[in-house]
């Protein structure tokens, strides 16, 4: 069973590597952020598979920590993307 989990984690990492092309050549920031979220999700999945294959609880802890960081990164991006729209709306109210 461990061999299957190792193979599955290698497959997930290979698919995540394909997502790097979208980060490097994404047409806009939203596409790049979505690709980064895909990379984070795939990395977390690979870590969870490796943790299950090896039986190491520390790997699962690292995966859960990375999932929290990915969620905060997504929230920060959404707030940063919304900030210019709010600034423009505030400028129109003053005029």
pLDDT digits (tens, 9 = 90+) for 12-33: 999 888 878 777 877 787 777 8
- Average model confidence (pLDDT) for the chain? 85
Domain range for residue 72?
2-94
**How far apart are the C-alpha atoms of 23 and 10, rounded to whole Å?**
20
Question: pLDDT band at 88, cuts 50/70/90?
Answer: low
Give the pTM. 0.75
Total count of domains within the chain? 1
**Residue 95: pLDDT above 80?**
no
38-48 per-residue burial string, b: 16 or more CB within 10 A, e: under 16? bbbbbbbbbbb
**Nearest Cα to Cα of residue 40 among 10, 12, 66, 8:** 66
């Amino acid at each position: 069973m461990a061999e299957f989990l190792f193979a599955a984690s290698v497959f997930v990492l290979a698919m995540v590597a394909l997502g790097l092309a979208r980060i490097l050549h994404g047409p806009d920031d939203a596409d790049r952020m979505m690709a980064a979220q895909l990379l984070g999700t795939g990395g977390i999945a690979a870590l969870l598979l490796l943790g299950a294959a090896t039986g190491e609880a520390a790997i699962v802890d690292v995966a859960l920590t990375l999932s929290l960081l990915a969620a905060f990164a997504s929230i920060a991006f959404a707030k940063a993307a919304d900030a210019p729209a709010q600034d423009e709306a505030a400028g129109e109210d003053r005029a």
